[in-house]
Every structure is written in C-alpha cells, then in structure tokens.
Amino acid sequence: MKYSLFRFSDVLEAFGIYLMCFTSNLLLVYVQISNVEVASLLEGFIESIVDYRLIISISLTFTMIVFHYQFLNRKKTEISCRILVGDTREGIITRYMLNSLTILMFSFVASLLLGLYLNVIGTSNLYLVFIFILYILVSAGQVTNK
C-alpha cells in the first residue's frame, strides 16, 4: 500500500462496507435455503424479506458508491499535491484500483470463510464482486484534482 491514497481508517471503512454487503447477502441466501421449521407467521415475514434479496443486496452496495464518491472528493487536494511533486494521474489511478481490488479481495475471502461456516456456497456473492469491480472502474475515472 505504498504511496496509496488509502489510510488505515479508509481501508477499514471500505473493508467493513464490503463485508457488510457480502454478509447480508450470504445471510439472506442462508435463510432462503435453510429449511428451519418456524411458525407460519414468522415464515411469511421472512419470506417477504428474502423474496427481495437481490434488490436489498444491490441497494446496500450503494453505500460503496458513497464511499468511493466521498473518498475521492476528500482526496482531491492530496492528488493535486502528488501530481505537483512528480506523480502521474495514471500512476495514482492504477494504485487506487489495485488497492481497492485488494481490499475487495480480502473481504471476499472473509465472506467465503463465513460462507463455509454457514454452509452456503460463497459464489452466491460473485455477482456482488462484479458490481463492486464496476464501481471501482467507474470511480477510477473520478481520480482527479478538479
């Protein structure tokens, strides 16, 4: 993470958000596939939440958009300073993408472990990984000092 825009607190924040999205998706999948016998009223309530798993999971990924947006807005001055002392925008973008992907990978691995514990296939989080990669690619275009 040398020359990274990410500070330790930013890494923790991003890791926490990724993990929250993965975990909530895994828990919803877990509830959906587990055949625990519960009262019909409770079953109806849980079903009415689980039926919208995709919408809930995608809505929660919006918090990552907020993270990227506020992060890059806060780092504008730092980016300007780095360019001023000889760094290049391309270099900053590359490092930003690599760092973001590393955090994403670590949180995905953590979610896989949780999936193993819950006996849920970790690949049910793969679509979220694609969404997050998309967010990283789009936000990379916003790495600017303007």
- Would you tell me which residues interact with other proteins (CB under 8 A)? 20, 38-42, 44-46, 48-49, 52, 56, 59-60, 62-63, 65-67, 69-70, 73-74
Question: Closer to other proteins at the Cβ: 48 or 119?
Answer: 48
Q: How far is the CB of 59 from other proteins (least distance, A)?
A: 4
Instruction: Give 12 or 98: the residue with its C-beta nearer to other proteins.
Output: 12
Minimal distance in Å, beta carbon 137 to other proteins?
Answer: 16
Pick 32 or 121: Cβ nearer other proteins: 32
Closest to other proteins by CB, 47 vs 116, is 47
Residue 48 CA: distances (Å) to CA of 45, 117, 143: 5, 25, 40
Closest distance of CB 13 from other proteins, Å: 9
Q: CA 126, CA 122: separation in Å to the nearest integer?
A: 8
The answer to whether 99 and 6 are in contact (CB under 8 A) is yes
Residue pointed to by tokens 């916003």? 142
Cβ 52 to other proteins shortest distance, Å:
8
Q: Is 119 left (phi over 0), alpha (psi -120 to 50) or beta?
A: left
* Phi, psi for 76 (deg, rounded to 5): -60, -45
- Angle subtended at Cα 90 by Cα 85 and Cα 91, rounded to the nearest 5 degrees: 60
Q: How is residue 122 annotated by DSSP? A: G
Residue 19 or 121 having the CB closest to other proteins: 19
Q: How far is the CB of 130 from other proteins (least distance, A)?
A: 19
